[in-house]
Amino acid sequence: MKINLNKLYIVYNPGIQSGKADVFNGKPTDITGLRYQFYRGLVADQVYGIYTTKASAQKAADRLRKTSPHTPLEGNKPSKDKKERFREFIAGLEELSSKHGIAIQSIGGVLIFEYPIPIIYDEDHTSGDLIPNWEED
């Protein structure tokens, strides 16, 4: 059986810091992206599984969400205030925009949550819209 290394779905073990919500974001990565995650600090114990189809990864993530004892950090205060987190976000966004040659123009469209949460974006490159999605409790 040949595995397509350009379309891998990673399901992460939920942890105290991550919570149940962000065990799977639904987006594929490739082997280079996975290598980059390990380079940035991901350790093998944090990976529940690597799947070749979104359906199998989603099934595993759903099972983890039902059985994990960890919960999101809802009641906890973040270690950094909104202003500091926003500054760090802008620095990271500048780096990402420069790397990929993609800029975001937004006026009044920034949402700053009380604490970090998993956020994914729609992948429609033709509309020019950048629409975030997140789970609400």
Query: Would you state the pLDDT for residue 1?
Result: 61
Are 53 and 109 within 8 A, CB to CB?
A: no
Q: How wide is the angle at C-alpha 27 spanned by C-alphas 67 and 134, nearest 5°?
A: 65
Secondary structure letter of residue 29 according to DSSP? B
Tokens representing 102? 């993609």
For residues 103 and 133, give the distance between their C-alpha atoms in angstroms, rounded to a whole number: 19
What's the DSSP call for residue 91?
H
Q: What is the pLDDT of residue 86?
A: 87
What is the structure's pLDDT at 73? 43
Q: What is the CB-side half-sphere exposure of residue 42 using CA atoms within 13 A? A: 17
Q: What is the pLDDT confidence band of residue 110, given thresholds at 50, 70 and 90?
A: confident
Q: In 3D, which of 68, 116, 67 has the Cα closest to residue 92?
A: 116
The band of 75, judged by pLDDT with boundaries at 50, 70 and 90, is very low
Phi-psi region of 42 (alpha: psi -120 to 50; beta: other; left: phi over 0): beta
Q: Please say if the pLDDT value at position 16 is more than 60.
A: no
pLDDT at residue 128 greater than cutoff 80: yes
**Residue 111 pLDDT:** 85
Q: pLDDT tens, 50-71?
A: 998 899 888 888 887 776 554 4
The predicted pLDDT at position 80 comes to: 75
3-state secondary structure of 3: coil
At a CB cut-off of 8 Å and minimum separation 6, what does 82 contact? 112
Q: What percent of the chain has pLDDT over 90?
A: 4
